[in-house]
Structure 1
Amino acid sequence: MPVSHLIDGLNEIVGRIVSVVAILFAGIIIYDVFMRYVLGQPTRWAFDVTKQLYGFYFVMLGGYALRHQAHVRVDLLTARMGPGLRRWVEVAGYVIFFFPFAWVFARRSWDFAMTSWRQGEVTYGAVQLPVYPLKIAMFAAACLLLIQGVSEVLKLVLTRSPKPETPDVG
C-alpha cells in the first residue's frame, strides 16, 4: 500500500518536527519565569508566544496521533467482536463520523485562515502577534488528519484479517 506508507511517513515526519515545538515553548516559559521571579523583569511577549506555539503544537499533532492510534476510542462494543467484524465497524465509523468531521474541520479552518489573512488579524494581548499562521496551521492539520484517516481505512480494508490460531498438537 504505497499511498498508505506515503501518508504515514508524512505524518510521522510532521509529528517529529512539531514535537520540537514543545521544547521551544517550555524554554520560553522557563525564560519568562526566570525573568519574572529572579530578575523582576517580566516579559510582555512570552505568554502570547507560548499560547500560539501551544495551539500550533496541539493542532498539528492530530494526524500523528491518529497514525499511532493515540486518539480516544470507545471500545465497549467492538471489544466483544471478532477481528473481521471489528474492522468493518471501524471502517463504518470512519465513513459516518470521522470523514465528515475532518472535512468540516478542513473547510471551516480554510475559511478562518483566509479571513484572518485578508483582515491582517492579530492577537489582543500586550504584543500583537499575527493570528493567520495559526489558522493556516489548523487547515494544514485538518488536511493531515483527513489523509491519515484515508490511510487508516486503506489499512483496515486492504489488510488481510489474521488467520485464526490453531492450537499446537505437538
Structure 2
Amino acid sequence: MRGLLKLSGLIDAVNEGIGKLAYWLVLVAVIVSSANAFIRYGLNTSSNAWLELQWYLFSAVFLLCAGYTFLRNEHIRIDIILGRFSKRVQAWVDIFGILVFMFPMTILIMVLSWPMFLDSYLTNEMSSDAGGLIRWPAKILVPVGFFLLTAQGVSELIKRIAYLTGHRDEPGEKMHSHS
C-alpha cells in the first residue's frame, strides 16, 4: 500500500502543478480577451487568430484542470445525499462511482479523441476561418485532459482503499488549502 500511496502522491503533485500553471493561463486568457476587445472595438479591426487563441486558452484551463478539480474535491457531487452516510459508506460510493462511471467515460473519451488529434497533427489541420490557427494544439488537450482526470481517479481510488484498509485518514476531505 505504501508504494500505491506514493504513486497517489505523485499524481496529486502533477495535477497540483498543472492546476497552478492554469492560474497563469487564466491571466493570459484575460489579457488576450481584453486586447482582442480593444483591437476590435477601439481600432475597428479583428483577427480570427485572437478569437481562436481565446478559445484554446479556455479549453486548456477547462480540460487540464479537471484532474486538479477532482484532487481538490471541488467537482460536482451529491453531497446533500451522500453527506448523510458514514465516511466508510461515502468511500465505498466513491469507489463505485470511480470504477463504474468515471473510468469508463474518461478512458473512452481518451481513446476516441486520440485519433482525432493524430489526424489533425499529421495533416497539419488549419482552422477553416481566414487567419485561423492550427487545430492540433486544441485537439491534444482532450486526451491529455482526460488522461489527467483518469490519473487523478486512480489516485483518489488508492486513497479511498487506503482509508478503508486503515492506511490513511479520510480521503474525501479537502486536503489542500486554496491559493
TM tier relative to shorter chain:
0.7 to 0.9
What is the match of residue 104 of structure 1?
Answer: 108
Q: How does 1:128-147 map to 2 (within 5 A)?
A: 128-147=132-151
What is the match of residue 42 of structure 1?
Answer: 46
Q: Aligned with 1:45: secondary structure?
A: helix
Deviation at 1:118, TM superposition (A): 2.2
Structure 1 contact 116–131 (Cα < 8 Å) conserved: yes
Structure 2 contact 48–131 (Cα < 8 Å) conserved: yes
Task: Please tell me the residue identity of whatever aligns with 2:111.
Answer: R
Alignment partner of 1:92 is 2:96? yes
Q: Aligned with 1:64: secondary structure?
A: helix
Structure 1 contact 7–151 (Cα < 8 Å) conserved: yes
What is the match of residue 117 of structure 2?
Answer: 113
Alignment partner of 1:83 is 2:87? yes
What is the match of residue 162 of structure 2?
Answer: 158
Deviation at 1:93, TM superposition (A): 0.9
1:9 is aligned, of 7, 13, 33, to 13
Normalised by the size of structure 1, how large is the TM-score? 0.87
Larger Rg: 1
Q: Aligned with 1:42: secondary structure?
A: coil
CA distances 1:30-78 after superposition (whole Å, capped 9, x unpaired):
1122222233333443112111221122111111111111111123432
What is the match of residue 175 of structure 2?
Answer: none
Deviation at 1:129, TM superposition (A): 1.0
Distance 1:37 1:58 in 2: 27
Task: Please tell me the residue identity of whatever aligns with 1:30.
Answer: S
Distance 1:34 1:122 in 2: 26
Distance 1:48 1:42 in 2: 12
Measured on the aligned residues, the alpha-carbon RMSD in Å equals 1.8
Task: Please tell me the residue identity of whatever aligns with 2:113.
Answer: S
Q: Identity, % of aligned pairs?
A: 26
What is the match of residue 166 of structure 1?
Answer: none
Normalised by the size of structure 2, how large is the TM-score? 0.83
Distance 1:4 1:40, change over 3 A: same
What runs of 5+ residues in structure 1 fail to find an aligned partner?
164-170
Task: Please tell me the residue identity of whatever aligns with 2:76.
Answer: V
* Number of positions where the alignment pairs a residue of Structure 1 with one of Structure 2: 163
Distance 1:46 1:149 in 2: 34
